[in-house]
Structure formats: C-alpha cells, structure tokens
Structure 1
C-alpha cells in the first residue's frame, strides 16, 4: 500500500471513530430537545447530524478503496454512487453551518424577531428546501460522469490492456471533463463561497455585539467562540482546499495534482462538527462528560 493510500485510510478511520459516536449523540440529544421544547437551532443541528451520519454510512466504501491502494475492486455501479453519497453530505454541512450561524446572529441581534412563534416553521422549511435544492444539484455531476460513456469505456479498456489497475472515476473523456469542471465550479461557488461569506458576516457581527454588550456571561461567550472556531476550521481546513482545487481545475481545464490531497482533508469536516455540537448542545456536553467519567472509571490508576 502506498503512503498516500495509508494516509487516506488513517484519516477515514479517525474520522469514523471520532465522528460517528458524536453524530449519534448529537442526533439523540436533538431529538430529545425537539420533543421537549423545539428551537430553530435544534432543527438545524438535527439536520447537520443527519448529514454527518449520512456521510459516515458510506465512508466504509472509501475505506475499502483506500485499503485496496485506491483501486476500485467493488461493483462499478457503486463507484459513481459512492462519490455522490460522499460529497452530498459535505456540501449539505456547509449549508446547515451557514443556517446555524445566521440563527445565532438573529438570536442575539434581533431577540424580539427570534421569539416569533413561526420561527420553527421557518427553520423546518429552510431545511426541507436545502435538502431538495442540493438533491437537484447533485444530479448534474452524476449526469456529467456518463457523458460519452462509450468513449470512456473504450479508454478504460485500452488502459486495461496494459494491466494497470483502475481507480474510481479517474478516466474522463474531454466532454466529460469539461462538463464536470463546470459543475464543480458551480458547486464551489454556490455551496462554499457564498455560505462562507454569509458565515463570516454573521460571526463578525456577532463578535461585535458580544464585545459591546457586557451582559452576556463568560461561559456563553466561550461557547460562541468555540462555535465560531469550529465553523472556521470546517471551512478553512476541510472545505477550502478541495473547493480551491475545483476552481483551479476549471481555470486550467484539468484536475490539479494536489486534488486528492485536498480531497483527503474534506473528510475531517465531521470531526470539526463535533466541536459545534459540543458548544451548542447542553445535552451533548453532559453526555460527553458522563461518557468520559465512565471511561476513566475503567482505566487503571
């Protein structure tokens, strides 16, 4: 196994071990909270947790690919499907993180508006529209992968004569590449750049409000700081490199050599989401403290 494949596998395993229990805890705490007294932030957090669980469900397929040294030894139909299911939740996460940032800003800046009885309906509607909108967008990269499929198959067959093992979605015709790069640019602008700018505006405004208002407790300010740091880590470390590779690829009309390294960082988004869950959810913090105490109780002194 190559060093790159080993690094991929290690990051996938770490992401799964950290992300899955935290996503399950967040999901359960949100369900419990919504059942008791629903708030807009709980609706957005629930959808973020569902998005993370969706991603983690299909992550073992990528683990298998990395364990096979990036050679696709599974049914070919799973190749395109796994790619869609891999990126679908990641872009959804950026939208739900943006919704959380906007909700936190409105909660502090416009407390009267935030207390509107229709806020739960609006939040639910935003989440439904987000799922439907991105589901529609997800069709385009899948469609682009099958343009000139006969020519792509011929290319694959020619490569197979050289007995070279094949990876997933690495052989594209000129038409496929043109279409795919255009779709990737659209995804980068709509689901990364715009959400990132909105998050920056909301959190910069929120910080200014917190600085000017001394009434907020220190613990609340620390949680807000943690929320901002967690969100920025997701965008800066997980989303930015990969989306930058897509923009560069569109400009140069080729997939950059460092595209796969940026792809690897993309998976860490689920780990950083755990920081956001911890800062927002009181039940989440309590559950983690109880779990930590139980773990340390079994450890030898």
Structure 2
C-alpha cells in the first residue's frame, strides 16, 4: 500500500470512529425529541444526522478499497450503489447546514413567527423537497459517470483484459464530457449557494445577539461554536472537493488531486457533532453522562 493510501485509510478510520457513535447518538436523541415535542431545528438535525449515517454506513467499503490498493474486488453492482450512497450525503449535508443556519436566524430575528404551528409543516416540506433535489442531482451525476462504462477502467467486468478493476476513478472522454458540467453545477448549487446562505444567516445572527443583552453568555458561546463548526465543514471538508469540480470543468479533465480532496470530505462527520452539541441540550447532557461514565472506569 502506498503512503497516500495509508493516510487515506487512517483518515477514513478516524472519521468513522469519531463520527459514527456521535451521529447515532444525535439521531436517536432527535427522534426522541421529535416524538415528544417536535420543533423545526430538531427535524433539520435529524435529516443531517441521517445523511451522515448513510455516509458512514458505506465508508467501510471505501476503507476496503484503499486497503486493496484501489482495486475493486467486490461486485460491480456494489460499486455503483456505493458511489451513489457515498456522494449523496456530501450534497445533502451542505443543504441541511444551510437550512439549520436559516432556521437559527429566523428563530432570533422573528421569534413570534417562529412559534407558529405551521413551522413544523413548512420544515417537513423543505426537508422532503431537499431530498428530492439531492436525489435528482445524484442521478444525473451517476448516469454521467457510468455512461458507456465498459469503455473505461472504472467498473468493467471484462476479465479478458486482465486489468485490475477500479471504482469511479478513470473515465473516458465521453464520460468526462457529460460529467464535468454536472460536477460544476453541483459545486455551485450544493456548495457555493449554501455557503453564502450560512454566511448571511450567521453574520446576521451574531449581530442580533451582540445587540440584544437579554441573551446569556452561554447561548452566545454556543452560537459561536455553531458558526465555527459550520465553517470547518465548508472550509476543510467541502471546499477542496468542490474546487476540484471547478478546476476539472475549466481544464476539461479529472484533476489528479481529486482523491485527496475527496478524502478530506469525509471529515465532515467529525465536525457535524460540534453542531449537534451546540444546538441540542439533550446532546450536551448525554455527552456529559458518557464522559463521566468513561472517567469512572479509567484507573486513577
């Protein structure tokens, strides 16, 4: 295994070990909260947690691929399905982060309207529409990537060539012609626009909190943590990956460093728990209980 693949595998393992237990905890707490007393932010958090869980569920397949030196030794159908399930959460996370930022801003700027019972209905509709948009975009990218796939090296089953199979790595010129514009559209619609929404909402939210003395210092610190966690996701996890889309579209090629950018995108599952922690009181309480229980078993 090359040095790069060793680093990739280590990052995947770290992302899984940190992200999976925290995301499962957040998912369960959101379900319990929605069942007892649903509010819009819990619905958005539930969808973000669900998105991360889908990603983390298929991350071990990426680990296996790296351990096999990027040779796909599993069924071809599993490659195609895992590609769809691997990239779909990357698109959905940015949209739900933007939705959370908009919800936090509306909660502070329009507290009376925020308490309207119709907000639950509107939030549910927004989540359903978001998943539909993500599914449509993913299907377009999926079809473009596997167009005439037997001509490429990425998922062929032509054993007579005796070439090692790989999954979603090498592309024909025809595939790139279809795929690169789709990737560019994804970078604009699923990265740039959500980032602008988050920046506007959080800047406005911070201004409101600074001008209003009734908000406690702890709440202001949680908002700062929420902003920092969101910016970490966009800056470290999403920016390099989407930059590869833009560069690839301009140069009409698949950038060589795209795999490294894709590796960084897995770290969003490490940063999302910061967002869950800053928003959910139940999450903070559960983590404190788990920390105390862990400390009690540790030798002094």
Output the TM-score relative to the length of structure 2: 0.96
Q: 1:98 and 1:47 mapped to 2: Cα distance?
A: 12
Are the structure 2 counterparts of residues 241 and 291 from structure 1 closer, same or farther at C-alpha, using a change threshold of 3 Å? Answer: same
1:21-36 → structure 2 map (5 Å cutoff): 21-36=21-36
Are the structure 2 counterparts of residues 150 and 72 from structure 1 closer, same or farther at C-alpha, using a change threshold of 3 Å? Answer: closer
Q: 1:75 and 1:155 mapped to 2: Cα distance?
A: 9
Q: 1:18 and 1:231 mapped to 2: Cα distance?
A: 17
Q: 1:283 and 1:158 mapped to 2: Cα distance?
A: 53
Gaps of 5+ in 2: none
Q: 1:168 and 1:20 mapped to 2: Cα distance?
A: 24
1:75-114 → structure 2 map (5 Å cutoff): 75-114=75-114
CA deviation vs aligned residue, 1:85-122 (integer Å, no higher than 9, x gap): 10101110111100000000000011111111100000
The number of aligned residues is 300
Q: Is the 8 A contact 2:155 2:165 kept in 1?
A: no
Q: 1:106 and 1:245 mapped to 2: Cα distance?
A: 33
Matched, 1:297 2:296: yes
Are the structure 2 counterparts of residues 264 and 113 from structure 1 closer, same or farther at C-alpha, using a change threshold of 3 Å? Answer: same
Matched, 1:192 2:194: no
Structure 1 match to 2:39: 39
Q: 1:295 and 1:153 mapped to 2: Cα distance?
A: 48
Q: 1:95 and 1:188 mapped to 2: Cα distance?
A: 12
Q: 1:160 and 1:265 mapped to 2: Cα distance?
A: 36
Q: 2:209 and 2:71 mapped to 1: Cα distance?
A: 51
Structure 2 match to 1:138: 138
SS in 2 for 1:72: coil
What stretches of structure 1 move > 3 A for 4+ residues in a row?
153-161, 163-166
Quote the offset at 1:269 in angstroms.
0.5
SS in 2 for 1:82: helix
Quote the offset at 1:157 in angstroms.
8.5
